[in-house]
């Protein structure tokens, strides 16, 4: 029996290539092409974009992206066992899929991609958060990508999209919302994956802003936010002590020195970062 794209179903691909999921590679596969096509559509204008896919595995999301018309997909996969299965997908879509065997944390596939570039991935959660942080902190802004559509553990998705006052508000919310517009676009129960993970998942779509939401130096903002949330229960006047005498700066930008990090919004953190940077120069 074939699938909507005329290729064998993913369960047959997994059997034929002996791709039993490996826990150490965070392998929880999506086998329903209707679902992967739906995720692919969340990525935005596929026919007008090159897609960087990280961790294609047996190719469920890859096939969804290609079926939905992606101009070109460059897929980076660490598990050598998956490469032959992915090459079959490449042969089914001549000239539209480039498969690269490698560790996405080590290699830079940009030379294979032409802008506009969108990122799509269902990655192991630790690798996903590490790459998300790197993609949001490039040497200059705007970044090489237009949008990112990424699967995360639900808890991480809530941390990415949390607003001031929410339980999940913290460093990740500020990092993501300063230079992008993140939205949860889909929730997935464990049973959507094979094998099912222990936790619920969510797809987050992050659209790059042309420029940061509020002006600030990226390194100074990151340092201020790291100090503030490093001891989130403490008042800012003590948690920020390692940055020097910040009380006058807090007052200057209208933040009560007795406030705690979780009460301070992105705009105020940016104002504080500007004040800290101005004192340094
Ligand atoms: N995208 C497929 C899907 O949705 O069914 C597979 C998802 S599975 C959660 C994660 C995939 O990422 C696995 O195929 C795994 O081998 C791959 N992977 C894990 N670490 C990686 C890394 N550092 N670089 C590239 N791929 C990686």
Superfamily of domain 218-280: rRNA adenine dimethylase, C-terminal domain (1.10.8.100)
Number of other residues whose CB lies within 10 A of the CB of residue 51: 28
Determine the distance separating the centroid of ligand 1 and the alpha carbon of 270, expressed in angstroms.
Answer: 35
pLDDT of 74 > 80? The answer is yes
Among 19, 23, 25, the mutation site with the greatest number of ligand 1 atoms within 8 A of its Cβ is 25
Q: Is the CB of 91 under 6 A from ligand 1?
A: no
Which contacts qualify for 9-16: CB closer than 8 Å, 24 or more apart?
A: 9/33, 10/58, 10/59, 10/60, 10/63, 13/58, 13/59, 13/85, 13/88, 14/58, 16/85
To 10 degrees, the CA torsion angle through 62, 16, 30, 124?
-80
CA distance 133 to 171: 11
Domains 10-208 and 218-280 share a fold: no
Determine the distance separating the centroid of ligand 1 and the alpha carbon of 27, expressed in angstroms.
Answer: 6
pLDDT at residue 1 in the model? 65
Q: Is the CB of 124 under 6 A from ligand 1?
A: yes
Q: What's the complex ipTM?
A: 0.99
CB-CB contact of 104 with 54 (8 Å)? yes
Q: Is 126 annotated as a binding residue?
A: no
pLDDT at residue 10 in the model? 97
Tens of pLDDT, residues 196-254: 999 999 999 999 999 999 999 999 999 999 999 998 889 999 999 999 999 999 999 99
Sequence ranges of the domains in the chain: 10-208, 218-280
CA distance 108 to 97: 17
Determine the distance separating the centroid of ligand 1 and the alpha carbon of 103, expressed in angstroms.
Answer: 10
CA distance 30 to 25: 15
pLDDT at residue 227 in the model? 97
CB-CB contact of 37 with 64 (8 Å)? yes
38-47 mean pLDDT: 98
Mean pLDDT of the chain: 96
Q: What percent of the chain has pLDDT over 70?
A: 100
pLDDT at residue 178 in the model? 98
Tens of pLDDT, residues 101-134: 999 999 988 999 999 999 999 998 889 999 999 9
Q: Is the CB of 205 under 6 A from ligand 1?
A: no
Q: Is the CB of 31 under 6 A from ligand 1?
A: no
pLDDT of 2 > 90? The answer is no
CA distance 69 to 78: 25
Structure tokens belonging to residue 125: 């959660």
Query: What would the 3-class secondary structure string for 16-63 be?
Result: HCCCCCCHHHCCCEECCHHHHHHHHHHCCCCCCCEEEEECCCCCHHHH
Determine the distance separating the centroid of ligand 1 and the alpha carbon of 149, expressed in angstroms.
Answer: 15
pTM: 0.96
Q: In this structure, what DSSP letter does residue 123 have?
A: -
Superfamily of domain 10-208: Vaccinia Virus protein VP39 (3.40.50.150)
**Which residues make Cβ contacts (< 8 Å) with residue 35, sequence separation at least 6?**
64, 188, 192
243-266 mean pLDDT: 96
Q: Is the CB of 53 under 6 A from ligand 1?
A: no
pLDDT at residue 280 in the model? 77
Among 3, 22, 27, the mutation site with the greatest number of ligand 1 atoms within 8 A of its Cβ is 27
Instruction: Looking at the CA of residue 53, tell me the nearest atom of ligand 1.
Output: 1
Q: What CA–CA distances, in Å, run from 205 to 7, 116, 131, 199?
A: 28, 16, 14, 20
Determine the distance separating the centroid of ligand 1 and the alpha carbon of 172, expressed in angstroms.
Answer: 22
pLDDT at residue 125 in the model? 83
Q: What percent of the chain has pLDDT over 90?
A: 94
pLDDT of 43 > 80? The answer is yes
């Amino acid at each position: 029996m074939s699938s909507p794209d005329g290729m064998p179903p993913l369960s047959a691909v997994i059997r034929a290539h002996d791709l039993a999921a490996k826990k150490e590679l965070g392998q929880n596969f999506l086998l329903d092409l209707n679902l992967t096509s739906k995720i692919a559509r969340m990525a935005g204008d596929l026919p007008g974009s090159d897609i960087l896919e990280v961790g294609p595995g047996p190719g469920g999301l890859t096939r969804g992206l290609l079926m939905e018309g992606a101009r070109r997909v460059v897929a980076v996969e660490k598990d050598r066992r998956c490469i032959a299965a992915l090459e079959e997908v490449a042969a089914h879509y001549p000239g539209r899929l480039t498969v690269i065997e490698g560790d996405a944390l080590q290699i830079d596939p940009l030379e294979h991609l032409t802008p506009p570039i969108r990122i799509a991935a269902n990655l192991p959660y630790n690798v996903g958060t590490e790459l998300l942080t790197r993609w949001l902190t490039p040497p200059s802004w705007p970044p090489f990508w237009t949008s990112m559509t990424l699967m995360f553990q639900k808890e991480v998705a809530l941390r990415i999209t949390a607003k001031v006052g929410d339980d999940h508000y913290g460093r990740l919310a500020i990092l993501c919302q300063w230079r992008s517009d993140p939205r949860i676009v889909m929730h997935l129960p464990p049973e959507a994956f094979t094998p099912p993970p222990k936790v619920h998942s969510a797809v987050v779509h992050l659209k790059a802003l042309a420029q940061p939401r509020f002006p600030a130096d990226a390194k100074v903002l990151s340092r201020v936010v790291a100090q503030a949330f490093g001891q989130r229960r403490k008042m800012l006047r003590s948690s920020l002590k390692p940055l020097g005498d910040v009380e006058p700066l807090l007052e200057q930008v209208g933040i009560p020195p007795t406030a705690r990090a979780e009460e301070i919004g992105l705009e105020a953190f940016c104002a504080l970062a500007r004040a800290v940077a101005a004192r340094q120069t």
